[in-house]
């Protein structure tokens, strides 16, 4: 006897989108059957006219993260509630190494932040901010504990320690870890920034010019050379420009194992936003680009150059965002976990830019495979965790920050009229979110009570597999 049957939907599985009924038992996907052929179940959800998607996997979040002498506004409770409301059922958050601190301390600190709060499952990367010999020596042990990726920020303090970073890259590669790289060249940015500030061009209208596309593509090229020398696989986070995409294509042509991520703001917004009176609310690193760069990213999504769309969710209250007296002091990032899936469906799938199966690869299957969570997460396959999203492809929604679950009080996509929204999100077979009501809260489970804080579990991730593209499902 199944615990739950979801019947009547078009299910997006690794073999395509097709009518299928899905049965859940003990928190896992127990059976995928042609319509009407499922075993009996205790409870049945009628999902006719709906899509059934695997829960999305967002491998780039910053919840309860300290930066600019403050902390992001979403913690692991509000952040994961926002995630679940939008159909995201797994996140991988960045644990920051403190200067002079150990990797172990970073992990313990982030475990404490998530424990008792997260309502969905989560893993951690470690942001390697001090590649000391001691920290490098800890890398293999972190990998053994299921933390199998390390973040490198190139835009600050990187070049002075490039040789230490090379040593870290070498050990990471030998340990089976993946490097996730924020590619912006610190000296190119520094040069542009000091010229703008010297000319009194302090406002957000000049933010884009302080970090031009060349500062991104140059850093990608530099990181590709360094990771080639160290024989370590490289995953580039939040790429924003056609020039950077060209570097990725060139490296792949050379046979390199290189992975690429972008984030929603580069798909839906362009640099004119910085000219708005409150343009600071769109500031993140790298900046929004022009329409040609936006189109280049869309092309790269469709043709397979970009592997993952992740949010870089890093949320703030608007007054904090607008408080800076110059563009260098604006806290970077914004809230967008809840809109990841519906925005990509509406702007990508409904507008014919990418297929539905491609969307599912970009936000679920690829990140699960790349970050060592497949097939437990990322696809509708038998024996996977029953992390599922019932998605209404016809639902019209106008994005309004007051209806979102983030604690941020503005939304970068405010006013976008979109088509398609999740109507129910399940994590390991448990309903977290059901029945979005306009202007109302959606955090109501099938027991008519909020999902239990802290029900989310830490995911021990496997080592990076260079053959992740050809990983196939177990059935
Ligand atoms: Zn980030």
Distance 353 CA to ligand 1 centre (A): 26
Are 61 and 86 in contact by the 8 Å Cβ rule? The answer is: no
449 alpha carbon to ligand 1 midpoint, in Å?
33
- CA of 315 from ligand 1 middle (Å) equals 11
Q: How far is the CA of 150 from the centre of ligand 1 (A)?
A: 12
Q: Are 77 and 119 in contact (CB under 8 A)?
A: yes
**Domain coordinates in residue numbering, the chain:** 55-377+461-470
Report CA(66)–ligand 1 centroid distance (Å).
12
pLDDT, average across residues 350-364: 98
d(CA 397, CA 421): 7
Tens digit of pLDDT for each residue in 154-190?
A: 998 999 999 999 999 999 999 999 999 999 999 999 9
Q: How confident is the model over 214-264, as pLDDT tens digits?
A: 999 999 999 999 999 999 999 999 999 999 999 999 999 999 999 999 999
CA of 222 to the centre of ligand 1 (A): 20
Question: Could you tell me the distance, in angstroms and rounded to a whole number, from the CA of residue 67 to the centre of ligand 1?
Answer: 11
CA distance 98 to 101: 5
Nearest to 149 by CA among 187, 174, 176: 176
Question: Tokens 């020039």 sit at which residue?
Answer: 243
Edge-first strand order for the sheet with 21-25 is 28-33, 21-25, 2-7, 41-46
Q: HSE, CB side, 13 Å, CA atoms: give it for residue 297.
A: 27
Integer-rounded Cα Rg, in Å, for the chain is 21
Task: Give me the phi and psi of 441, to 5 degrees please.
Answer: -80, 150
CA of 331 to the centre of ligand 1 (A): 12
Q: What is the pLDDT of residue 377?
A: 98
How many angstroms is it from 28 CA to the middle of ligand 1?
A: 31
Determine the distance separating the centroid of ligand 1 and the alpha carbon of 394, expressed in angstroms.
32
What's CA 249's distance to the chain center, in Å? 22
248 and 181 in contact (C-beta within 8 Å)? Answer: no
Neighbours of 296 (CB within 10 A): 24
The stretch 411-436 carries a mean pLDDT of: 91
| Cβ-based neighbour number of residue 332 at 10 Å | 17
Q: How far is the CA of 35 from the centre of ligand 1 (A)?
A: 42
User: How much distance in Å is there from the Cα of 254 to the middle of ligand 1?
Assistant: 28
* pLDDT for residue 451: 78
C-alpha to C-alpha distances, 259 to 148, 212, 287, 469, nearest whole angstrom: 15, 22, 21, 11
Task: Give the distance (Å) from ligand 1 centre to CA of residue 62.
Answer: 6
452 pLDDT band, cuts 50/70/90, is: confident
CA–centroid distance, residue 95 to ligand 1 (Å)? 11
| pLDDT tens string 56-105 | 999 999 999 998 888 999 999 999 999 999 999 999 999 999 989 999 99
Is the pLDDT at 11 greater than 80? The verdict is yes
Tokens representing residue 67 in the block:
């930066």
- pLDDT of 20 > 60? The answer is yes
Kindly give the interhelix angle for 162-175 and 133-144, rounded to the nearest 10 degrees: 20
The closest of 288, 264, 284, 285 to 275, measured between CA atoms, is 288
CA of 199 to the centre of ligand 1 (A): 30
Cα(93) to ligand 1 centroid in Å equals 9
The HSE-up count of residue 264 (CA atoms within 13 Å, CB side) is 30
60 Cα–ligand 1 center, Å: 6
| Sequence-ordered strand ranges (E) for 290-446 | 308-309, 388-398, 417-427, 430-434
Give distance in angstroms: CA of 19 to centre of ligand 1.
37
pLDDT band at 440 (very low <50, low <70, confident <90, very high): very low
Q: What number of helices (H) and strands (E) belong to the chain?
A: 14, 20
Pairing of strands 308-309, 258-262: parallel
Q: How would you classify the pairing of strands 178-182 and 149-153?
A: parallel
441 has a pLDDT exceeding 90: no
Rounded distance from Cα 8 to ligand 1 centre (Å):
38
Burial 435-447 (b: 16+ CB within 10 A, else e): ebeeeeebbbbee
Ligand 1 centroid – CA 10 distance (Å): 34
Asked if 85 and 56 touch (Cβ cutoff 8 Å), the reply is: no
Cα of 238 vs centre of ligand 1, distance in Å, is 8
Distance 309 CA to ligand 1 centre (A): 13
What is the whole-number distance in angstroms between the Cα of residue 264 and the centre of ligand 1? 13
Measured in angstroms, how far is the CA atom of residue 207 from the centroid of ligand 1?
A: 18
What does the pLDDT look like over 256-273, one tens digit per residue? Answer: 999 999 999 999 999 999
Question: Alpha helices, DSSP H only, in 2-132?
Answer: 76-85, 103-114
Residue 23 Cα to ligand 1 middle (Å): 36
Predicted pLDDT of residue 472: 74
- For domain 55-377+461-470, say whether CATH 3.20.20.140 is its number: yes
Q: Are 389 and 47 in contact (CB under 8 A)?
A: no
Residue 474: its pLDDT value, please? 56
**Rounded distance from Cα 308 to ligand 1 centre (Å):** 14
Q: How many A from CA of 338 to the centre of ligand 1? A: 16
Quote the mean pLDDT of the chain.
95
């Amino acid at each position: 006897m199944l615990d739950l049957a979801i019947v009547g939907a078009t299910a997006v599985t690794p073999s395509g989108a097709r009518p299928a009924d899905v049965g859940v038992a003990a928190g896992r996907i127990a059976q995928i059957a042609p319509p009407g052929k499922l075993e009996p179940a205790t409870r049945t959800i009628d999902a006719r006219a709906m899509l059934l998607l695997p829960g999305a996997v967002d491998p780039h979040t910053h919840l309860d993260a300290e930066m600019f002498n403050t902390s992001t506004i979403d913690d692991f409770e509000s952040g994961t509630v926002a995630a679940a409301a939008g159909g995201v059922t797994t996140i991988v958050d960045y644990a920051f190494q403190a200067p002079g601190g150990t990797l172990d301390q970073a992990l313990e600190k982030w475990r404490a932040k998530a424990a008792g709060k997260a309502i969905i499952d989560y893993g951690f990367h470690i942001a390697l901010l001090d590649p000391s010999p001691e920290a490098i020596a800890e890398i293999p042990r972190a990998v053994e504990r299921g933390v199998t990726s390390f973040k490198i920020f190139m835009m600050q303090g990187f070049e002075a320690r490039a040789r230490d970073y090379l040593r870290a890259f070498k050990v990471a590669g030998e340990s089976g870890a993946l490097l996730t790289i924020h590619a912006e060249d610190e000296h190119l940015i520094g040069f542009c920034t000091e010229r703008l500030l010297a000319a009194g061009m302090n406002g957000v209208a000049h933010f884009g010019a302080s970090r031009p596309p060349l500062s991104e593509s140059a850093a990608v090229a530099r990181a590709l050379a360094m990771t080639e020398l160290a024989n370590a696989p490289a995953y580039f986070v939040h790429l924003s420009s056609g020039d950077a995409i060209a570097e990725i294509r060139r490296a792949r042509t050379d046979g390199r194992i290189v992975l690429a991520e972008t984030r929603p703001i580069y798909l839906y917004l362009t640099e004119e936003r910085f000219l708005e009176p409150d343009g600071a609310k769109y500031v993140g690193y790298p900046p929004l680009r022009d329409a040609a760069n936006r189109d280049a990213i869309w092309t790269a999504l469709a043709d397979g150059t970009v592997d993952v769309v992740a949010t870089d969710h890093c949320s703030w209250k608007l007054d904090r965002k607008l408080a800076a007296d110059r563009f260098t002091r604006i806290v970077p990032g914004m809230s967008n976990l809840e809109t990841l899936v519906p925005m990509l469906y509406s702007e990508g799938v409904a507008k014919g830019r990418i297929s539905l199966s491609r969307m599912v690869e970009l936000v679920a299957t690829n990140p699960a495979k790349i970050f060592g969570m497949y097939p437990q997460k990322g696809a509708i396959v038998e024996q996977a965790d029953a992390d599922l999203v019932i998605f209404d492809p016809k639902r019209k929604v106008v994005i309004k920050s007051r209806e979102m679950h983030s604690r941020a009080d503005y939304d970068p996509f405010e006013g976008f009229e979109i088509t398609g929204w999740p109507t129910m999100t399940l994590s390991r077979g448990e309903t977290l979110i059901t029945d979005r009501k306009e202007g109302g809260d959606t955090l109501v489970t099938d027991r008519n009570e909020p999902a239990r804080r802290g029900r989310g579990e830490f995911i021990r991730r496997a080592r990076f597999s260079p053959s992740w593209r050809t990983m196939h499902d177990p059935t």
